[in-house]
Amino acid sequence: MSRLKGPERREQLLTVATKLFADRGYEATTTASIAEAAGITEPVLYRHFDNKKDLYLAVLRNSSELLAQRWRDAANQAEQAPEQVRHLATTIYGSLPEISNHQRVIYLSVTCNSDPDIAAFLHEHVDRLINQAMAIVKLGQQQGVFRQDMDLYAMSWAIVNIYTGFSFTRLHVNPAHMDLRVVVEVVLTGLYARN
Fold observed for domain 6-191: Tetracycline Repressor; domain 2 (1.10.357)
Q: Considering the entire predicted model, what is its pTM?
A: 0.86
* 32-59 core/surface letters (b: 16 or more CB in 10 A; e: else): eebbebbebeeeebeebbeebeebbbbb
* Amino acid 29: pLDDT: 96
* Amino acid 1: pLDDT: 46
* Amino acid 176: pLDDT: 63
**Residue segments in the chain with a per-residue pLDDT below the cut of 70:** 1-2, 170-178, 195
Dihedral in degrees, nearest 10, Cα atoms 151, 183, 62, 109: 80
Domain ranges of the chain: 6-191
- Give per-residue pLDDT as tens, 64-113: 999 999 889 999 999 999 999 998 888 877 777 788 899 889 988 888 77
